Structure 1
Amino acid sequence: MSDKPDSSPVNDAPDYASTLYLPQTDFPMRAGLPRREPEFLARWNEIDLYRKLREQGTREKRDRFVLHDGPPYANGNIHIGHALNKILKDLIVRSQQMLGKDSNYVPGWDCHGLPIEWKIEEQYRAKGLDKDAVDKVEFRKECRVFADKWIDVQRQEFKRLGVTGDWDDPYLTMSYDAEAQIAREIMKFARSGQLYRGSKPVMWSAVEKTALAEAEVEYHEKTSHTIWVKFPVIATDDPALADASVVIWTTTPWTIPANRAIAYGAHIAYGLYKVTGAPEENWAKAGDLYVVADALAEEIFKAARVESFERVAAVDPKVIKRCAHPFRGLDGANGYWDFDVPVLPADYVTDDAGTGFVHTAPGHGADDYVTYLKHKAVFAECGTTEVPHTVAEDSRYFPHVPFFAGLQIYDHKGKDGKANAAVIDKLAEVGALIARGRLKHQYPHSWRSKAPLLFRNTPQWFIAMDKPVAILDGKTLREVALTAISKTEWVPESGENRITGMVENRPDWVVSRQRAWGVPITVFVHKETGELLADDRLDQAIAESFEAEGADAWYQNDPAFYLAPLGYDPAEYERVDDILDVWFDSGSTHSFNMETRPDLAVNRIVDGGRDQVMYLEGSDQHRGWFQHSLLEACGTRGRAPFDIVLTHGFVLDEKGMKMSKSMGNVVAPQDVIKDSGADILRLWVAASDYADDLRIGKEILKTFVETYRKLRNTIRWMLGSLHHYKPAEAVDPAQMPELERFVLHRLAELDEAIREAYRRFDYKRVIFLLNGFMTSDLSAFYFDVRKDTLYCDPPSSLARKSALTVIDRCFDCVVTWIAPILCFTAEEAWLTRHPDALSVHLETFPEVPAGWRDAALAERWARVRRVRRVVTGSLEIERNAKNIRSNLDAAPIVHVTDPELLAAVEGLNLADICITSDLTLRSDEGPADAYRWDDVPGVAVVFARAQGTKCARSWKISPDVGTDPDYPDVTPRDAQALRELKAMGA
């Protein structure tokens, strides 16, 4: 039955089209999302939807589900990764609310730290100004203004995505109350003894002049110098080694001046090798004796351009006690390198590359530093009593380093300075170099300036990972964090192993930064003893000043402002001016968000309650926000701040490539919204496997536009049909035809599956289930079958009323089920159907009676649909051959031998189900040339043309047309409909 019968009068025939119950709706076929979506945003703002959702949760005493926002940096327009993140959060918040929770989302922003400070510095550099010459408080004010600007920009861009939340009262790490609470949190670590000042090598950015945490580091390809250097053996238990040298290999020649040891692997086979042939000009000379790993000897001598060599003997590296630094005893060095270099075992040494010996500079490497701590007594015996400081914050050698003082490793743009070349030249000059080269490898870079980093020994503030503390019942922070990880639900589950490995192996947390824009480490240190000043009154005074003036108070007020009123002599104490790692800020957000706002207060599952807190960010946050939030909360509260942690992947282009402006493959969410609407982006997010990296591009978006179009048209058809629905005429399921009861069964099945998918945050399954139901079960089957009944049956028809009742139930279910995803479209559809309603987003998912489930009926209709597929397949061939214009021209003969299929279709009006004017069912094989389908054995179809006259109203062909004398050009069914309509005055 077509949706649009020919209504033009023929031979003065009646206009029967006006007597049909055709769909009528103001819900347009073309969505016009870019234009319509802002209208709904304005409406939600007008009715204060967010506040009504909170009132609903309080009024109904719902369990709380809090999605605590991982704060983005307020430093630019949002990108497609932001859109993925915020939309995914909104899917969760909306769906949890519709599942019956009080699901709250308070957006937040990370306002401190290098991303913003760096932008202000760029502005200074563009004007030729020196940031260090500006008053620190004035500089901080500029950072605050910059952050405020971008918060407003991003707020509007996030809202445009359809994200619901408390946009009028977000949390900001730079608000005065937040800065005061961050200070309280670091002071808790100080009072518990977990905060300490130490000197160890940390990742250092010479460009940004600050230490960086591992979470702020990314790895890029870099071409480095490589050198092979000989260290003469000066103490050994083996006389054969008296004239030999241990050879090391490094990709950081600039660290050679800081060398204090050599490490070897106890499991590696080493040998004494003699150069037997080499060019005259070669650095490696004939007769030289080198100790190297056997597995690497050939590679080493090839690099050294040695023509021939021989293995003299095996070497146990334990017999090598001491070596000399290559610069030992040089004129002009003033004895700087006149110490012994111990040869020590280390389990990190391999023979995969290099020489099998690792040059060890405790001031410039994590493993090197650990080796120093482990063998500190040996180092002392060799003349090294402390970790050397050789490189300053700008990556220049300190003035006390002979030969290289003032030379820079990286310049202010991150380019190689003169240090490497100078060291290499000096090694060659003193005869310590045997080979050099270049190597492309992955090297740590700052994720902000993109400049390469260096390990640099510098005094920093740390939070101890392995110190037992009283407030943790004698456990260490690492132990408490690992226990908390095991009690958390990780989505996907692989997240647990990922973060467990990171926490198991991470070093102490470097929380200090040598920058200006952030919350200071609010402690005072006694100048003589180095002890932290512990006084609860001091902590309170600091926090109160921050609440009144913000963290600027630390710099605006003299130390005496805090110390003198409490009876302390300011001259005896040093005020720490380092700021906190920005991860400490964001890691503390639970303390000034969930613990202070009444609308976010929870009695979590870990405390025996039923409320839940979720953290959701990209998978890189296992080392970032997730981990630092975990450590901050565990260190101060002994537990994680979350119950559930969900991670998503990153967004790539259609080819799986990282997006880059230079490559021209960037997809901006603003452009997608302008062209197609935010609901298309939301559909893309929901339908994608967020646990993996996602792809997006024009062609991919086209498929989602098409999917959306089909879903929208299904909703539109339901709305059009429901124009004729009268709730008072609703039919009890028990009185409905089988087909309607089958659709109700499908609704009951879907209700359970969709709720479970939403509970498991599996949105791609929600889309899969809904798309299949709406396009296959409804549009392509149920609606197709029932169009004739809905359009043409008499007003009194039970089948018609039953179909309308089922469509009404389908509409309510489908639109609410899809509302968390297509939030704008669902709202438009809901208000079209229920114009007096406030919002679909104030609804919960409809309760679907369990009694609608009927497995036996479902099985029968699955078989009916299999037979129908064979019939419709045969008719498609006839239409393509131009033998018929529509299925109503046909009256096929259907041969069914499969007993189960035959039993399923017997007793049903198979002609209506197959949308033919007539159909004959036979229980035999059928002729050999009948149409068959391999997927449905036991069914054969023979085409036959329908006999009779075409009904002028329904277009069915029937011999019964004309049997009613009052309506001679229609079937008796249509005559009855016309009679009833006439009686109603229609």
Structure 2
Amino acid sequence: AGETLARWGRRPPWGGGLLRRAVSFTSSRCHGVGSGEGGARHADSGSAQGGYRDTVLLPHTEFPMKLSGQKLLDREVEIQQKCGFAELYSWQRERKSKKEFCLHDGPPYANGDPHVGHALNKILKDIRNRFEMLRGRQVHYIPGWDCHGLPIELKALGEVGTSGLSPLQIRQKAREFAEGAIARQKAAFQRWGVMADWDQCYYTYDGAYEAAQLKVFQEMFSKGIIYQDYKPVFWSPSSRTALAEAELEYNTEHVSRAIYATFPLVKPPPKIAAEKGVSVLVWTTQPWTIPANQAVCYMPNAQYSVVKRADNTQLLLVATERTASMAALLGTQLESVGTFTGSQLEGGICKHPTLPDKDVPLLPANHVTMDKGTGLVHTAPAHGMEDYSVASHFKLSVECMVDEDGKFTELAGPELQSLSVMAEGTDKVISMLKECGALVKEEQCVHSYPYDWRTKQPVVIRPSKQWFINTASLKDKAKEALQKVRVLPESARGSLLAMLDRRTYWCISRQRSWGVPIPVFYHRETGEPLINKHTVSHIANLFKEKGSDCWWELPIETLLPPDVLKKSKAGPVADYVRGEDVLDIWFDSGASWAAVLQDPRADAYVEGKDQIGGWFQSSLFTSVAVRNKAPYKSLVVHGFAVSENGDKMSKSLGNVVDPDVVINGGQDPIMPAYGADVLRWWVAESNIFSEVQIGPTVLNLARDNIGKLRSILKFLLGNLQGFDPRVQAVDPKQMHYIDQYMLHLLREFSIKVTDAYSEFDAGRVIRTLQAFLTRDLSSFYFSIIKDRLYCEPEDSLGRRSCQTALEEILDGVTRAIAPILPHLAEEVYLHAPGHDRIGWIKSSSVWRRPGLEEAVEGACAIRDLFLSSIPGKHAAQYDLTIAIEPGLLFELMESLQEEPTSTSSQLAELMMAARVSLVSELPCDLPPDTLLNHGTFLINLEGGVIREDSAYSIAVVPTSAARCPRCRRYTVQSADCLCPRCKTVVSQAH
């Protein structure tokens, strides 16, 4: 079958090509499809035929070939209203179903207008949901919004800033801003045809949601996974808050003033007899951290050398493998005085360059690398994650000399106090190193550096008392849970695991007002936190009833009542103050499984690749911590929408594609009104696992492809006008072989489409659909059946057989496109009443008749040989003789034509020839202009049990018959006579 079907991929010489050609319509009547000679294609032309026009059954339907501009937009909105798009989700939730499909919606951020990234994500989800609904499952899909966080707070406050505003005033403005963004986004999602109960969405600022989130917080706290500590965090001076790693952007073009500085060795390591005057050489890209230095770290198993500079008497301690690079950098030769292993440096002590009274130990550390620098790492525990680990291990002090604005405090000394560490503070430290003779070299270093993703300003690492999740304790469980999760594409699994590995702890406290308050109270004098299951449960109940504004609105006596204090074994309420931090919004959204899902796990989470380090991860950590399992059975990770040139969209480049403009059209004529279904086709057709390009070229192509699909649907609808399948359908066993064969191909099509939808591969659905429409229907089937459809008696078995197949094809194609193009599918149903709009493609095993494929495909192989013998000529003008030795192939062809010669057999129809003769051997008296050809066909029956390679020959001669003036087939003796079939039809009509 595959080989024969492949042959149909080329445009056949006898015509076809419905998808490539427009179908001409007059007064809502179509006069044929493609350019084949089958039937009454030219029924309105020619004086002889004109008289029989009313006896030819041409297609008729009011279904429009094309919709554009305002008519298209009005039609889509009308269909949404008339066909109950708004009620569909509620309806399917109420019907009985054995299985549920749960796609958990990752909350988009409520801080702006809808964009094409939203369209890609929401439509992709809707395609899968509609497919699952059609196949009979009850879909659980609750759209949600992430409503808290700094970006909303900053946009809401705008020029005003936080000056003079209370937390409640800030929260009110932020809530109003979020509500406006949600309303705009929700309206867009509905216009795109996304199926949901839009009155029952979830919002992370709802009291019930916040209460569920606090229960997750409490369970994690009670297990010791959430804790308070003083340790380095990513701190944004521009936002004045701690950040999690997921809130960072790395600027690869960041320029730092890197320095090489010396720490004099005042106490040599006991295992080394070092010369006097040796200095340890360190390198850092952050000179401002030098005042906070507590140690210099080395790699225990590396080689180190004391080297002497050729241009002065300086002795430097550096890693042996960095000596050559250092010599080149300093522009002098470095002579090795002594070499030893790193472990021999143990016990050595240096002097701090700018703090003469401070001793600095040499300490071993595994994070030291040899790819850059000197192999000796300046260690400031307050300003580096690895540095802090060293400090924890060796009990070093962690002193913070930097305040919340990113400026040196008085601890840094009067020379540095109040200077910004990233600007004039760096200048001053470098100046101090110069003055004391410790600066060996300064250079500009372009490298990747973390920035605040909201303010686009650099962050610093500084210690702060914050609330953390110990993700290190959850990593192994999270990895184990991920093994049971299906990841699409599978390549994304590695990124997920790498992200998990990189995260040792997660800072979840933020110093802002717009968020869920961390339910903790602090003792006025000791600062000790008061938090336990009693306090958190009480706060959660209050949030559920009143919302989290009550944290600021209610008196502390209500937040911390006597019974809670008693259960907590705490002192009087007057001893406590409420905390001022709010939870990280990644914890907000990461707890959505607890607030939204009914079942333990969703069938799928579907988001962009940025959520690998975001929502996918925060959801996994919280769920594993509380329930020891992932909240999802499968993860679908899609790419980002980019411009047509593959560039990231930005307003400055002017390449932003607005989905509203895609649907409704823009001022630029290059952007006409495409409507929602074109936007949906774009999503479906794209390779979602890579970057997804959008622009006029792909949108025009999508519109054209939908137009071609409409022409196929119009042909099907036009030829089914007045056909009632309940009383006029033909039993499959009585249908013509070619019609049965099309049902067989429809069944194969439905299996492929079902598999593709199940894999979140709507692109494969579209490719499968286009192949079926172009190759199997337009170029093949439609070319063959037009004579039977237009010219046979209306109620004949042959015509009803064909309509039975067309009815099933229309039904199958419409259901196949419905998840992607719901507006078009509903429009088809409006023009074909009587269809059940819910249900997946019907296919029956009855359609697989033994020998059916072999009979039709054997005939197609013979036809291919016949058509290749008359390139560019009309098959209808030739008589064809097929000679096959007695055997299986002959018997199969006999099932298509019982009599030796025929102008009206199924074999003649399939060949589209004037007359077909089926013989066991070619006659001897063939005319001299006969075209002879030979071929073979391999018959494969019963799974290979029966295999027969059959030879056949064909003889092709121009027909001597004239053309019937009604059906235009060459089947009459003279041009003024009707063929017997047409004569019967015309006489019955009169």
TM-score, normalised with respect to structure 2:
0.86
* Residue ranges of structure 1 left out of the alignment (5+ in a row): 278-285, 331-337, 380-385, 411-416, 467-475, 595-600, 607-611, 879-883, 963-967
Which residue of the other structure, out of 441, 450, 455, is the alignment partner of 2:456?
Answer: 450
Which residue of the other structure, out of 427, 433, 441, is the alignment partner of 2:439?
Answer: 433
Cross-structure match for 2:146: 110
2:343 equivalent to 1:318: yes
Q: Deviation of residue 941 (structure 1)?
A: 8.4
Cross-structure match for 1:398: 409
Q: Deviation of residue 69 (structure 1)?
A: 0.9
2:207 equivalent to 1:171: no
Q: Match of 1:955, as an amino acid?
A: R
Alpha-carbon spacing, 1:391–1:329, altered in 2? closer, same or farther (3 Å): closer
Cα distance between partner residues in 1 of 2:851 and 2:391:
75
Cross-structure match for 1:487: 484
Cross-structure match for 1:598: none
Greater mean alpha carbon deviation, residues 339-348 or residues 147-156: 339-348
SS of the residue aligned with 1:197? strand
Identity of aligned residues (%): 34
Alpha-carbon spacing, 1:781–1:393, altered in 2? closer, same or farther (3 Å): same
2:591 equivalent to 1:578: no
Which residue of the other structure, out of 355, 361, 370, is the alignment partner of 1:342?
Answer: 361
Contact 1:892 1:944 in 2 (8 A): yes
Alpha-carbon spacing, 1:367–1:865, altered in 2? closer, same or farther (3 Å): farther
SS of the residue aligned with 2:101? strand
Give the alignment of 1:899-938 within 5 angstroms: 907=896, 909-918=906-915
Cross-structure match for 1:255: 289
Greater mean alpha carbon deviation, residues 767-776 or residues 485-494: 485-494
Answer 1 or 2: higher relative contact order, Cα 8 Å, separation at least 6.
2
Alpha-carbon spacing, 1:486–1:928, altered in 2? closer, same or farther (3 Å): farther
Cross-structure match for 2:228: 197
Cα distance between partner residues in 2 of 1:346 and 1:899:
84
Once the two structures are superposed, residues 281-310 of structure 1 have per-residue CA deviations (whole angstroms, 9 ceiling, x without a partner) of: xxxxx111112223322222222233x332
Cross-structure match for 2:430: 424
Once the two structures are superposed, residues 241-298 of structure 1 have per-residue CA deviations (whole angstroms, 9 ceiling, x without a partner) of: 5321221112222222222122222343322211112xxxxxxxx1111122233222
2:985 equivalent to 1:977: yes
Alpha-carbon spacing, 1:657–1:175, altered in 2? closer, same or farther (3 Å): same
Greater mean alpha carbon deviation, residues 560-569 or residues 512-521: 560-569
Alpha-carbon spacing, 1:186–1:110, altered in 2? closer, same or farther (3 Å): same
Cross-structure match for 2:123: 87
Q: Match of 2:735, as an amino acid?
A: M
Greater mean alpha carbon deviation, residues 889-898 or residues 73-82: 889-898
Contact 2:416 2:428 in 1 (8 A): yes
Contact 2:89 2:197 in 1 (8 A): no
Cα distance between partner residues in 1 of 2:257 and 2:591:
42
Q: Deviation of residue 109 (structure 1)?
A: 0.6
Cα distance between partner residues in 1 of 2:276 and 2:225:
48
Contact 2:879 2:956 in 1 (8 A): yes
Cross-structure match for 1:371: 390
Contact 1:6 1:17 in 2 (8 A): no
Cα distance between partner residues in 1 of 2:410 and 2:891:
97
Alpha-carbon spacing, 1:698–1:40, altered in 2? closer, same or farther (3 Å): closer
Greater mean alpha carbon deviation, residues 147-156 or residues 688-697: 688-697
Q: Deviation of residue 625 (structure 1)?
A: 0.6
Moved >6 Å (runs of 4+): 892-904, 920-943
Give the alignment of 1:772-791 within 5 angstroms: 772-791=771-790
Give the alignment of 1:724-803 within 5 angstroms: 724-727=722-725, 728-803=727-802
Once the two structures are superposed, residues 339-378 of structure 1 have per-residue CA deviations (whole angstroms, 9 ceiling, x without a partner) of: 32222222222211111122211111111111211222xx
Give the alignment of 1:281-296 within 5 angstroms: 286-296=312-322
Cross-structure match for 1:300: 326
Alpha-carbon spacing, 1:691–1:27, altered in 2? closer, same or farther (3 Å): same
Q: Match of 1:759, as an amino acid?
A: S
Q: Deviation of residue 561 (structure 1)?
A: 3.0
TM-score, normalised with respect to structure 1:
0.86
Alpha-carbon spacing, 1:241–1:455, altered in 2? closer, same or farther (3 Å): farther
Q: Deviation of residue 668 (structure 1)?
A: 2.3
Q: Deviation of residue 101 (structure 1)?
A: 0.7
Which residue of the other structure, out of 228, 235, 238, is the alignment partner of 2:267?
Answer: 235
Alpha-carbon spacing, 1:872–1:105, altered in 2? closer, same or farther (3 Å): farther
Cα distance between partner residues in 2 of 1:63 and 1:641:
18
Cα distance between partner residues in 2 of 1:706 and 1:772:
16
Q: Deviation of residue 936 (structure 1)?
A: 10
* Residue ranges of structure 2 left out of the alignment (5+ in a row): 1-14, 16-30, 33-39, 566-570, 665-672, 898-905, 939-950
Give the alignment of 1:442-521 within 5 angstroms: 442-466=448-472, 476-521=473-518
Q: Deviation of residue 156 (structure 1)?
A: 0.8
Give the alignment of 1:789-828 within 5 angstroms: 789-828=788-827
Cross-structure match for 2:18: none
Cα distance between partner residues in 2 of 1:933 and 1:235:
99
Q: Deviation of residue 176 (structure 1)?
A: 2.5
Contact 1:952 1:969 in 2 (8 A): yes
Cross-structure match for 1:73: 109
Which residue of the other structure, out of 307, 326, 329, is the alignment partner of 1:273?
Answer: 307
Which residue of the other structure, out of 350, 353, 360, is the alignment partner of 1:327?
Answer: 353
Q: Match of 1:651, as an amino acid?
A: A
Greater mean alpha carbon deviation, residues 256-265 or residues 76-85: 256-265
Which residue of the other structure, out of 245, 252, 272, is the alignment partner of 1:214?
Answer: 245
Q: Deviation of residue 905 (structure 1)?
A: 5.6
Cα distance between partner residues in 2 of 1:929 and 1:428:
102
Contact 1:795 1:980 in 2 (8 A): no
Q: Deviation of residue 326 (structure 1)?
A: 4.3
Q: Match of 1:435, as an amino acid?
A: K
Q: Match of 1:703, as an amino acid?
A: L
Contact 1:205 1:454 in 2 (8 A): yes
SS of the residue aligned with 1:970? coil
Alpha-carbon spacing, 1:408–1:955, altered in 2? closer, same or farther (3 Å): same
RMSD of the TM alignment (CA)? 3.1
Alpha-carbon spacing, 1:733–1:935, altered in 2? closer, same or farther (3 Å): closer
Contact 1:891 1:919 in 2 (8 A): yes
Once the two structures are superposed, residues 404-448 of structure 1 have per-residue CA deviations (whole angstroms, 9 ceiling, x without a partner) of: 2111135xxxxxx22222222221221111111112222222222
Cross-structure match for 1:334: none
Q: Deviation of residue 39 (structure 1)?
A: 4.5
Cross-structure match for 1:709: 707
Cross-structure match for 1:97: 133
Alpha-carbon spacing, 1:729–1:397, altered in 2? closer, same or farther (3 Å): same
Greater mean alpha carbon deviation, residues 896-905 or residues 364-373: 896-905
Aligned residue-pair number: 909
Contact 1:37 1:824 in 2 (8 A): no
SS of the residue aligned with 1:692? coil
Cα distance between partner residues in 2 of 1:570 and 1:397:
37
Once the two structures are superposed, residues 926-973 of structure 1 have per-residue CA deviations (whole angstroms, 9 ceiling, x without a partner) of: 9999799999999998875443322211222234456xxxxx532212
Cross-structure match for 1:723: 721
SS of the residue aligned with 2:274? helix
Cα distance between partner residues in 2 of 1:433 and 1:940:
94
Contact 2:686 2:763 in 1 (8 A): yes
Cross-structure match for 1:522: 519
Cα distance between partner residues in 2 of 1:544 and 1:851:
60
Once the two structures are superposed, residues 625-664 of structure 1 have per-residue CA deviations (whole angstroms, 9 ceiling, x without a partner) of: 1111122222233333222222111122333322222333
Once the two structures are superposed, residues 150-207 of structure 1 have per-residue CA deviations (whole angstroms, 9 ceiling, x without a partner) of: 1110111111211111112211111222233333332333334332111111112111
Cross-structure match for 1:668: 658
Cross-structure match for 2:648: 658
